[in-house]
Amino acid sequence: MQPAAVEGFAPAKVNLALHVTGRREDGYHLLDSLVVFADVGDRLTAMADAALSLHVTGPRAAGVPTDAGNLVLRAAALLGAGRGARIVLEKHLPAAAGIGGGSSDAAAALRVLARLWGLPLPDATAVLALGADVPVCLSARPARMRGIGEALGPLPPLPPLWLVLVNPGVPVPTGPVFAALARRDNAPLPPTLPRLGDAGMLAAWLRTCRNDLEPPACALVPAVGQVLSALAVQRGCLLARMSGSGATCFGLFATASGAAAAAAALRAAAPGWWVADAGLAAPQDQATRATT
């Protein structure tokens, strides 16, 4: 029996490392990135309906489009053209922030609508048309992402770790960040990724890696550097780095209490910033809930 409604979660995507390794003739950049998902994010509910519609609620709803400019509706059309559903998107993540908000929303829409409509999920190549981050967000598992986003591989088991995510509320233009790269043929990540026993060991290894987009983003938008500096001095912060093309940055912590204390300190010091402390998210293909 078709469920009356399906609920799902769209977790924040975090690039622990991001190496730009080349650029194709069509202009798409080649990446080698380590991606994890935080247990903070947006929520979607899809309800059976004759027509397809999108309604946006939540604390970050302002300015979010509800027409074809939203990836959620484009994802719905890709999965089941001509089918109907009433989709409610509850926005908690900042938009265009380097943590895959729109891509994760589109991926969550694919998961909940596939269950609502009784359809199989599309493969990575099909959803790549929605954006480079959509394939990894559809999987929503820790992954090594290569190519232009379509080549996904599993990561070794990760140790317990916690994150503090901070966005200064200043947009970072993705195109100019890529254009300002000093070079585009940077070295990839090591061929084999080590299995690391704790968050400290992971952070030490990640310091041998990079986010190649961080230097140009800091040069273009000084607020990114201010966030990184504020994170780095927090007690217990093992690593501070930008995610994606910014402006969201993350601090890596060994304990939930350390992350929570750092987040509280940052909120007090910079009340205009978006700040969230988080653990790692559960695999999302097991986290949809249907009602009849």
Q: Could you count the other beta carbons within 10 Å of the beta carbon of residue 185?
A: 10
Q: What is the pLDDT of residue 124?
A: 85
How far is it, in rounded angstroms, from Cα 26 to Cα 39? 35
277 is an active site residue? no
Catalytic residue among 13, 32, 91, 105: 13
Q: Where in the chain are the domains?
A: 5-154, 162-278
Q: Are 28 and 81 in contact (CB under 8 A)?
A: no
In degrees and rounded to multiples of 5, residue 144 shows phi and psi of: -100, 125
Mean pLDDT of the chain: 95
Catalytic residue among 105, 133, 212, 277: 133
Cα separations (Å) of 37 from 182, 235, 237, 243?
29, 23, 19, 11
How far is it, in rounded angstroms, from Cα 276 to Cα 283? 20
Q: What is the pTM of this model?
A: 0.95
- Give tens-digit pLDDT for 169-188: 999 999 999 999 999 999 99
The answer regarding whether domain 162-278 maps to CATH 3.30.70.890 reads yes
- Give tens-digit pLDDT for 76-132: 999 998 999 999 999 999 988 999 989 999 999 999 999 999 999 999 889 999 999
Q: Which two tokens stand for residue 204?
A: 């030490």
How far is it, in rounded angstroms, from Cα 206 to Cα 36? 13
Q: What is the pLDDT of residue 125?
A: 87
CA geometry: angle at 98 spanning 92 and 100, to 5°? 60
User: How far is C-alpha 182 from the geometric centre of its chain's CA atoms?
Assistant: 25
42 is an active site residue? no
The distance in angstroms from the start CA to the end CA of the chain is: 8
Q: Tell me the CATH class for 5-154.
A: alpha beta
